[in-house]
């Protein structure tokens, strides 16, 4: 059996947790985690090149929390809405059609489905992939299988990866993943801020996964349910994973609401203006052998899981901390070669707060862990939030002072392999504590579309070239050595 044939085998175990019928329950950590203190080390060369294979991550939207059913019992968990403040949809004998946009062309794919935040097992009796037409409409839908079968049951806390499916697609071509479950799902695992519309049928509508028409899909949400990743078969290709918060997730809002959530801006929905999307286009235009996998979760913190330190309503949409989810969202991505770590403003701006030492020690733990796996790390400086008057302490002078101290550590003492100075790129030169107006989406914390483009342009493509040379543990006979990393 050739390597290509082995890659297509549904029983092949892969870099993502497991393939086909294998299910893995995921555990959730808790609390602020702080590494032992110590002097920052010089940027080390990775200890060993990471294991490679024919698969590469092509798209991701990590699970953040569970969308509680609107007909369920009262709960302290928040939010019961999507980012547009539309109530959570009900999933009960219905089909969900989620739109994803891969950052590389391919001819074979596989899809991750998650029930990590489910309260009970979820059975998917039909799953398909198609090319988005208009809205919920699709063309060329084909069924996806799991261990050779159309039906798969995912336990609470688990996930599953589909069998490989020959299906040609282009980079940045919108694909629709349709999932049908006959279950009444009390807590549908989701990525809260999708910045992409997904579509659902009415409860009781049955299996519409192969419908090309979108007529049955009368409900829209701007969260993405169940679908958390996609890989493609691309030997010699590496993945760049962007680990971050709402600034990496591409969140955009208007004027902040100091007493509650504000709806996201409709402008930019379905337009893929996140900075990792724009970075992927730059990479693609240069023909570099890389994908970009977005591991941003809005509201995320480096050292606190979502529920830690909160009282009353618990905002679970912020997800598990970067430390907690590092294995799930970064190390499990096939052929990850470089990580761009851009996170920390929520650790400074949300309660309970952290000290500079706590935050930088957690950075060091993440970077050291990645280096031990042979992964190159770039660290982004934290962008300004002066003038923010919404919830939290983002806009205060005290937070800005902490931010400046953290950024000084990143620029001078971080063990990362390189620094991406996002702060300098988007700050107002006349007042570096605030965003340049052209890059401010209106809440003085998140960025406009031009602001996200500026972040993408700030990453020097030469910084993404990993020390291992290629997708085959250091061999030099691939495209890695034949392209211009400019």
Lowest mean pLDDT among 15-24, 155-164, 336-345, 464-473: 15-24
Q: Using alpha carbons, select from 353, 342, 399 the residue that is nearest to residue 32.
A: 353
| Mean pLDDT of the region 25-50 | 41
Question: Average pLDDT for residues 122-144, to the nearest whole number?
Answer: 98
Percent pLDDT > 70 in the chain is 81
Residue 235 above 50 pLDDT? yes
Q: What is the pLDDT of residue 474?
A: 31
> Among residues 139, 167, 130, which one has the least CA distance to residue 8?
167
Place of tokens 């493509």: 461
Q: What is the rounded CA–CA span in Å between residue 429 and residue 314?
A: 38
Question: Is residue 347 within 8 Å of residue 387, measured between CB atoms?
Answer: no
Mean pLDDT of the chain: 85
Provide the sign of the torsion angle of the four alpha carbons 251, 220, 210, 126, taken in this order: positive
Q: Which helix (H) or strand (E) holds 2?
A: none
CB-based burial of residue 241 (10 Å sphere; 0-12 exposed, 13-18 middle, 19+ buried)? Answer: buried
pLDDT attached to residue 309: 52
- CA atoms of 237 and 56, how far apart (whole Å): 7
Gap between the Cα atoms of 219 and 77, Å rounded: 23
pLDDT value, residue 7:
47
> For the segment 330-352, what is each residue's pLDDT rounded down to a tens digit?
999 999 999 999 999 999 999 88
Phi, psi of 321 (to 5 degrees): -60, 160
Residue 471 has pLDDT above 90, yes or no: no
- What span, in angstroms and rounded, lies between the C-alpha atoms of 106 and 439? 34
Closest to 56 (Cα-Cα) out of 407, 404, 335: 335
- pTM (two decimals): 0.88
pLDDT score of 326 more than 60: yes
Nearest C-alpha neighbor of 192 from the set 364, 317, 19: 317
Say if residue 468's pLDDT is above 90. Answer: no
Q: What is the pLDDT of residue 334?
A: 97
Predicted confidence at residue 281, as pLDDT, reads 98
Residue 243: what pLDDT? 98
The count of residues in the chain is: 486
Closest CA to 139 of 102, 160, 111, 167: 167
Closest to 192 in 3D by CA, of 261, 253, 121, 251: 251
Nearest CA to 373 among 330, 414, 342, 343? 330
DSSP for residue 50: P
Confidence band of 73 (pLDDT split at 50, 70, 90): low
- Max avg pLDDT among 14-23, 60-69, 198-207: 198-207
Residue pLDDT, tens place only, 22-37: 333 222 233 333 333 3
Burial of 171 per CB tally in 10 Å (0-12, 13-18, 19+): middle
What is the per-residue pLDDT for 47? 52
């Amino acid at each position: 059996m050739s390597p290509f044939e082995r890659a297509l085998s549904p029983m092949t175990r892969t870099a993502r947790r497991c393939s086909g019928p294998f299910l893995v329950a995921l555990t959730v950590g808790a609390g602020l985690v702080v590494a032992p203190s110590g002097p920052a080390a010089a940027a080390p060369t990775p200890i060993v090149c990471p294991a490679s294979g024919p698969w590469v991550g092509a798209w991701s939207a990590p699970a953040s929390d569970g969308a509680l059913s609107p007909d369920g019992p009262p709960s302290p968990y928040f939010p019961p809405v999507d980012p547009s403040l539309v109530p959570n949809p009900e999933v009960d004998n219905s089909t969900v059609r989620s739109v994803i946009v891969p950052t590389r062309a391919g001819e074979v794919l596989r899809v991750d489905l998650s029930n990590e935040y489910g309260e009970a097992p979820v059975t998917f009796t039909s799953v398909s992939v198609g090319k988005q037409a208009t809205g919920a409409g699709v063309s060329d839908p084909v069924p996806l299988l799991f261990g050779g079968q159309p039906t798969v049951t995912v336990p609470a806390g688990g996930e599953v990866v589909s069998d490989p499916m020959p299906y040609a697609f282009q980079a940045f071509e919108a694909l629709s993943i349709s999932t049908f479950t006959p279950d009444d799902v009390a807590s549908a695992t989701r990525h809260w801020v999708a910045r992409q519309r997904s579509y659902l049928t009415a409860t009781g509508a049955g299996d519409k996964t192969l419908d090309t028409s979108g007529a049955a899909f009368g409900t829209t949400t701007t969260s993405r349910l169940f679908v958390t990743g996609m890989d493609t078969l691309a030997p010699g290709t590496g993945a760049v994973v962007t680990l971050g918060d709402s600034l990496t997730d591409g969140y955009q809002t208007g004027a902040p609401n100091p007493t509650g959530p504000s709806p996201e801006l409709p402008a930019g929905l379905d337009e893929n203006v996140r900075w990792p999307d724009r970075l992927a286009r730059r990479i693609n235009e240069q023909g570099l052998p890389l994908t970009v996998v977005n591991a941003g979760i809005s509201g995320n913190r480096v050292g606190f899981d979502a529920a830690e330190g909160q009282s009353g309503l618990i905002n679970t949409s912020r997800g598990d901390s970067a430390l907690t989810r590092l294995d799930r969202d970064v190390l499990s991505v096939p052929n990850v070669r470089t990580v761009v770590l851009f996170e920390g403003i929520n650790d400074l701006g949300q309660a309970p707060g952290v000290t500079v030492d706590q935050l930088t020690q957690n950075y060091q733990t993440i970077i050291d862990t990645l280096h031990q796996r042979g992964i190159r790390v770039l660290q982004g400086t934290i962008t300004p939030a002066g003038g923010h008057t919404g919830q939290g302490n983002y806009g205060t002078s005290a937070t800005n002072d902490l931010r400046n101290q953290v950024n000084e550590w990143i620029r001078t003492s971080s063990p990362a392999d390189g620094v991406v100075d996002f702060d300098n790129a988007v700050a107002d030169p006349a007042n570096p504590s605030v965003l340049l107006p052209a890059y401010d989406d209106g809440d003085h914390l998140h960025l406009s579309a031009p602001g996200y483009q500026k972040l993408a342009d700030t990453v020097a493509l030469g910084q993404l070239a990993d020390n291992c040379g290629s997708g085959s543990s250091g061999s030099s006979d691939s495209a890695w050595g034949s392209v211009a990393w400019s």
